[in-house]
Structure 1
Amino acid sequence: MAGSPLKRRTFVLLGAAVAAAAGARTSVAAAASSAPAGTPMPVRIVDDRATPATRALFAYLKRQQGKGILFGHQHDLTYGFTFTTPDGKASDTRAAVGDYPAVFGWDTLILDGDERPGTEDGTEAENIAALSRCIRQGDARGGINTLSAHMPNFVTGKDFYDTTGRVVSQILPGGAKHSYFNAFLDRVAKAVKGARRPDGTAIPVIFRPFHENNGGWFWWGAGHTTSGEFIELFRYTVEYLRDTRGVHNLLYAYSPNSSLGGDPTGYLKTYPGDRFVDILGYDSYDEAAGPTPWLDGLVRDLAMVVRLANERGKVPAFTEFGESGTEVRDPQWFTRLLQAVKADPLARQVAYMPTWANFGGTKRAYVPYPGHVLLPDFVRFHQDPYTLFAADLRGVFAARTTAVRNGPSMHLVTPTDRQRVTAAKSTVRVRVTPAGASRVTYSVNGGRARPLRLGADGYYSGAWSIDTALRKKGSATLTVRARVDGKTLTDSAVVLLGEVAPLPAGWVDDFERYAGDDVAVSEAYTHLNTHTLTLSPDHKSSGSYGLAYAYDFTAAEFTGIGKSVLADWSAFTSLALWLRGDGSENGGALEIVADGVQFQYRFALADTSGQEIRAPFSEFQPAPWDTTHATAVLDTARLAKVTAFNLYLGRGSGAVTKGIVYVDDIRAE
């Protein structure tokens, strides 16, 4: 979601199967380019039973690459500064430039009555019908529909910003809240299937669940779930909607948040796989002090996304963007953005770029309205031949296509990679689609293969008994294999075993609990902007490991990591940690989130000897951007309500943009 307070305020198949999939993509592209005129175009998408219009939409977006970028707007017909009562025709975009956006964005919050035209007192059926109606109205205005999903916390019942409860692990198969998640997806399925044209055909929708997951502001984000859990949640969502609920008018989009420094490793860390994604998206809002750093990083990341999409036969998209400052800082913001994207031969190939909703009140006007300082520039943005609005679209759903059938695939559903299993037994679940398997097995650490049986729930499953000796080792590699059509499909996961002793009161981390696993320590933290976390056996205060925090300011002025705390620190007087700086002029900030306020203590990175830092709570100040709490004090009342610890590194006046800082033993004392 654009402009969220947290975002503004805080800094497979293996082996031969992979090669076969790559070859299939190449052959599909070759067939499409060499097919005789009038021959249906072959398309490979997640749902090989998708409706003709859905296949045609995918083909159109691929065909459009490099010819122009479709402009989009969230809630264009339901929220605005130029109208109060939605009628399906009034639009801030239309008021600004005389045309509708090419892409209309909606959200599943309509289903809960939290965004209109859904209503809090509406029945389930009424709010489902409201979302279906939005999709029909966007289609009637000549646009393409997308659907994002700000899902409630299924554990606590609160909203998507409530990151407590390890929600993802609870809603995956076998989890205590799995049925709650299914019920939510049932409503999505009804709304999407109910969005039909007058002739009865289903309207295609681009579904974008679990967006910006590399940030920590949503319960499905970094630090609140593991990459393995996220991947399986995305896969489960696709398979449930497509295979269980029979929804065949969806394309599926994956969209991490900026900044990634152009590094595909970070982007692909939670990638569900080519079998589950049609559109490679990317979200980014301009929150920089000036346009150049943001634009440079944006173009670098978009080029990376386009490169990955082209390699995989996917559609690249700039799935959310906007100017998120508290005031307009650049009256040519839209055209500067467009020119920067157009100037890069790869970045210019993104298919569409939607901005966020004009919710009104004190929130940003992402689409300028008459009288707004950015309106003249937005008009020029609209007039540029490279931007496409609704009136510019031709033949979006007209292409004659044929679906390339997806071959069999298999993935390990539970336990997920780096999941901690504390019990003596765990259920191994494997999904094989679309074909059945003659034999499915699991093995532990390369040992004897044990059979898994197909159940009524559609999973091959079996009980894994974990003996005491294995649990004492702390981890095991679980490998599953399926024999399908004469081929063996394989997947595996590293499973963490046994209980971890709780840290003493006041402690954030001692970096000993990860058994030397760099992936595990990275999964435990939220991440903002470009950096790498690894365990360091050489630079530490005590024990076997410290943390090596390698930062990169190439694409951003700062970077940050964070950890949920949820503790009462009222008995303590200071925050302490061991720190070894890198000798640069860059700096850092310790941040304590207490009673909803972010308090910071700044420090230098000049010392390279390694030393204890003790920051008295009395010296913490509210974050400088938080004018609402400018006079707040980190007193005992607030320290009783600590929810998170964050560590930020920021660029100083020197030339150093990359370095490594070592930390250890972070605790209140």
Structure 2
Amino acid sequence: MARPDDPDRRATTLSVRLAPPVVTTGEPAALVAQLPPAQSGRPVEVQRLNQGGWDRLADATLDATGRAVVALDTAAPSDQVLRVTAEAWNGKAAVRSPQVTLRTRSSQSCTPKYKLVDPAANDAAKCLAARLDRWKAAGLMGVGQQLNVSSSDFLDPLTALAPQRVNVVGFDLWELAKTGSYEFPFLDRAVADLSALALDGAVLSVSWHADNPHTGGNYADRGWHDLGALLDPLSAEYIRFWSDYSEKLELLRMFQDNGVAVVFRPFHEANGGWFWWGHAEPSTYRKVWAEMQRRAQESGLHNIVWAYSFAAKTWSGVAAPESLVPAKVDLAGIDSYDPEATSADAKDRLDVTGYAAVARKVRRMAFTEVGPERSEDGAWNPAVITRTARTLAAKPIWAMLWFDDSQGDKQISSLQGGPAWLKGCANAFCQVG
């Protein structure tokens, strides 16, 4: 055991941080040590304070960037005081980091910084919101990956990243519902797999590409788009839509039964005109949103963190997103895609027009969908996400990329700079604040 006041081991350039510094039991946390200039292969020791002395907790080796990431035990509530030391090596003097404290809290004592929309939110929802608030306070942006749960191989985008993980996993209720109608249905397996990811520390972000209740077409059918009909109990669209909504709530109930909360972002990108619910009159949109919340709560669903997700205002056909912010919402996020189809769009960028205006109304913000559009070779570098996030006054709590689809390569594993970017975000957290 080393003494805590050993004078010849004072740190000079060895830094250490926690990702994140406060967690609920069972949530993933890691210690991140950095020693510049990079000294690849240099061994370091993680130590924990114990009754006035320092015990060895783990050994690690600095990588080519001079960094080591060590997973930490969060199984029980505790405060762990930690530091990192490096013995003299290849002519380099011994160094020691400052100490940091990992605080692991009980799941019975989750208190979100910002009160949730649902006054009867269950413990899982409160802990999810508290987790997001802790990320925000620590200046951390979780990395996320959307999955196509209508495919039996829906976990492939995550498997391709192993052993690296992500902190946010997205899926869509329209796709999840389809799994129950296949010749070989796998709805129960999909819910079980997604629930397991959540219980292992991932935030579940849920969208819903709702069918058009008038035409029977899909979400992109703009042949009818009178959102006001959803407030008229005498209309056929009212009956069809709310019946469909009730079925989707039953899918969310499966997660509640598994002890899992979700971030739910219905009617996303409504300030654009590509979905049937798009370009709605603002007061009508807010009334439908409030009705969705009321029905969820009255049905006994209390595992929802409500999110308003809007499109970046990149051209005149996209309305100002702040005009549609629901009366009560827990989080808001921007969906922004960078066109890659022509040489004129070669520069990687992330347009966040409209983000700041919404952030003035909503406390929690995220990049709910980001990435390239029509990238044929995956050359888009997601490092632009981190650079953009750092310029914003209201830092995003997470950034989620979509899965590969007909619009090109989008998922982290398919982008040329994707895996390296994820690795650079220690424990799937990018430092943005």
- What range describes the TM-score normalised by the shorter chain of this pair? 0.5 to 0.7
C-alpha separation between the residues in 2 aligned to 1:186 and 1:121? 24
Structure 1 length-normalised TM: 0.43
**Other-structure match for 2:385:** 337
Give 3-state SS (helix, strand or coil) of 1:153's partner: coil
Secondary structure of 2:213's aligned partner: coil
Distance 1:320 1:267 in 2: 15
Which of residues 384, 392, 398 in structure 2 aligns to 1:352?
398
Map 1:251-290 to 2 at 5 A: 251-259=305-313, 266-273=320-327, 276-287=328-339, 289-290=344-345
The change in CA–CA distance for 1:104 and 1:368 in structure 2 (over 3 A counts) is: closer
Provide, for residues 495-519 of structure 1, a one-character-per-residue CA deviation record: whole Å limited to 9, x for no partner.
xxxxxxxxxxxxxxxxxxxxxxxxx
Q: CA deviation at 1:173?
A: 3.5
TM-score (norm 2): 0.65
Distance 1:234 1:221 in 2: 13
Q: What percentage of aligned pairs have identical amino acids?
A: 23
User: Is 1:142 the equivalent of 2:213?
Assistant: no
- 2:217 matched residue in structure 1: 158
Aligned to 1:195, the other structure's residue is in SS state: helix
Say whether the 8 Å CA contact 1:108–1:149 is kept in structure 2: yes
**Whole-Å separation in 2 of the counterparts to 1:220 and 1:383:** 38
Do 1:106 and 1:134's aligned partners in 2 also have CA atoms closer than 8 Å?
A: no
- Is 1:229 the equivalent of 2:298? no
Q: Residue 109 of structure 1: CA displacement?
A: 1.4
CA apart distance, 1:119: 3.5
User: C-alpha deviations, 1:355-401, integer Å up to 9, x for none?
Assistant: 11234xx55231254xx5x33x2122112246726xx9xxxxxxxxx
1:345 to partner: Cα distance = 4.6
Q: Distance in 1 between matches of 2:209 and 2:311?
A: 15
Q: Quick one: structure 1 residues 168 and 56, their matched pair in 2 at CA, closer, same or farther if it must change by over 3 Å? A: same
Alignment counterpart, residue 142 of structure 2, candidates 61, 67, 70: 70
Residues 245-256 of structure 1: matches in 2 within 5 Å?
245-256=299-310
> How far, CA to CA, are the matches of 1:127 and 1:238 in structure 2?
28
2-structure distance, mates of 1:328, 1:55 = 41
The answer for unaligned runs of 5 or more in structure 2 is 1-104
CA distance in structure 2 between the aligned counterparts of 1:152 and 1:97, rounded to whole angstroms = 35
Matches within 5 A, 1:589-600: none
For residues 325 and 41 of structure 1, do their structure 2 counterparts lie closer, same or farther at Cα, with a shift above 3 Å needed?
same
Q: Which of 368, 377, 382 lines up with 2:422 in the alignment?
A: 382
Q: Distance in 1 between matches of 2:412 and 2:367?
A: 19
Cα distance change on mapping 1:319 and 1:108 into 2, 3 Å: same
CA distance in 1, matches of 2:232, 2:189: 30
Q: SS of 1:317's equivalent?
A: strand
* CA shift in 2, pair 1:194/1:73, >3 Å: same
3-state SS, counterpart of residue 131 of structure 2 = helix
Q: CA deviation at 1:246?
A: 1.4
Mark the CA change 1:191 to 1:246 in structure 2 (over 3 Å): closer, same or farther. Answer: same
RMSD of aligned Cα (Å): 3.2
> Is the counterpart of residue 193 in structure 1 residue 253 in structure 2?
yes
Given the alignment, which residue of 161, 175, 191 partners 1:132? Answer: 191
Kept in 2, the 8 Å contact 1:258–1:282? The answer is: yes
In the other structure, the counterpart of 2:181 is 119
Report how many residues are paired.
316
Do the aligned residues in 2 keep the contact of 1:128 with 1:190 (CA within 8 Å)? Answer: no
Task: Give the superposition deviation at 1:232.
Answer: 1.2
Task: State the Cα deviation string for residues 268-313 of structure 1 (Å, max 9, x = none).
Answer: 211221xx21111110000163365843x42x5444444433xxxx
**In 1: Cα distance, 2:201 partner to 2:148 partner:** 13
User: Closer, same or farther in 2 for the Cα pair 1:213/1:127, shift >3 Å?
Assistant: farther
2:320 matches 1:320: no
